[in-house]
Amino acid sequence: MTARYPVTRPRRLRRTAALRTLVAQVSVRPSNLVLPLFVKEGIGEPQPVSSMPGVVQHTRDSLRKAAHEAVEAGVGGLILFGVPAVKDGRGSAADDPGGVVQLALRDLAADVGQDTVLMADLCLDEYTDHGHCGLLTPAGEVDNDATLERYASIAVAQAEAGAHVVAPSGMMDGQVGAIRGALDAAGHGDVAICAYSVKYASACYGPFREAAECAPQFGDRAAYQQDPAAARDALREALLDVDEGADIVMVKPAVPYLDVIAQVSAAVPVPVAAYQVSGEYSMIEAAAANGWLDRDRMIMETLTAISRAGADIILTYWAAEVARRLR
Ligand code: PBG
């Protein structure tokens, strides 16, 4: 039957795969994906992370192999998280030149440093015996300004070990400025800062705390990470970090905060990263293992949504797999 008036038909452009590809505006590119990797001190074999099927805590050797494979697959970067053998109140292993991340950075700088971007998560929670992201006051609160001195020292240790980018994730006020100042003073003016600027106090980090062995031993992180309901806080944090010298700003988690990615991406003059975190990974892996969701389609749909929201760079535990698939 002919319509009585002309019908606008968006479906014309959906009819074949070739048409859909022609008009696509968003694409996920391997070179914009960053793979998070865990390296643990003092283990002989890689250790599976039970809440993140397919993810392991690496030995220094298995890390080198995984890094090679990821770079071979075409990922844009790697971000390292260290799990030290010994923890203490001030997280001494974090800025020790012989600490596990510094050793691993030296390995990877020699192996793949010409071919990829080496990033290091910069925080204290993996290194402190209490599991908080900073030094504690006698009352048991995280001491913002004392922590900044520790972060500054960690940044220099990571830069010296070969990090191209340091990524402070502890949510202390002034952390980007303190780190920028310390890097510049130590002759590392060319090392970039990817700030975890907009980081929510999220239940999505549960599995990561198993992988990085960094669950807080008391309390939670709500006094320093952002409140999911404080909508205006996002822009404030992002703009402050740009002012303090952040080269890249990050929003984290990703899919539950697509509105925030869009808002930040419209407002800042620097590249925006989004972190598809451990809980986002585990939810999809668990549902797929039950046969409830199509795993591969879910992965691509979520990555497409994150880049459609405005993320230029995506940190995802599927980075190497997706890069391989897209080649
Ligand atoms: C803190 C840090 C966390 C994550 C990255 N850096 C955990 C936290 O804040 O508790 C979470 C990443 C993920 O869940 O995949 N150093």
Q: What is the mean pLDDT of each run of 10 residues along the chain (327 residues)?
A: 80 97 96 98 97 98 98 98 96 97 98 98 97 95 97 98 98 97 98 98 96 92 95 97 98 98 98 98 98 98 98 98 96
Q: List alpha helices for 94-223, DSSP H.
A: 100-112, 144-161, 175-185, 206-211
Classify residue 145 as left (phi > 0), alpha (psi -120 to 50) or beta.
Answer: alpha
**What is the pLDDT, as a whole number, of residue 26?**
96
Q: How many CB atoms lie within 10 A of CB 103?
A: 18
Cβ–ligand 1 distance for 224 under 6 Å, the answer: no
Q: Is 40 assigned a catalytic role?
A: no
What would the 3-class secondary structure string for 265-292 be?
A: HHHCCCCEEEEECHHHHHHHHHHHHCCC
**What is the pLDDT, as a whole number, of residue 51?**
97
- 7-62 pLDDT, tens digit each: 899 999 999 999 999 999 999 999 999 999 999 999 999 999 999 999 999 999 99
Identify any residues that bridge with 196 across adjacent strands, giving them in sequence order: 250
Q: Return the residue whose CA atom lies nearest to atom 6 of ligand 1.
A: 169
Cβ atoms of residues 326 and 290 within 8 Å? no
List the catalytic residue out of 40, 65, 87, 252.
252
Q: Return the residue whose CA atom lies nearest to atom 8 of ligand 1.
A: 205
Cβ–ligand 1 distance for 280 under 6 Å, the answer: no
Cβ–ligand 1 distance for 285 under 6 Å, the answer: no
Q: Residue with structure tokens 């972190």?
A: 275
CATH superfamily of 27-326: Aldolase class I (3.20.20.70)
**What is the pLDDT, as a whole number, of residue 6?**
83
| DSSP summary character for residue 95 | G
Task: Indicate the pTM of the whole model.
Answer: 0.97
> Which 3 state secondary structure label does DSSP give 154?
helix
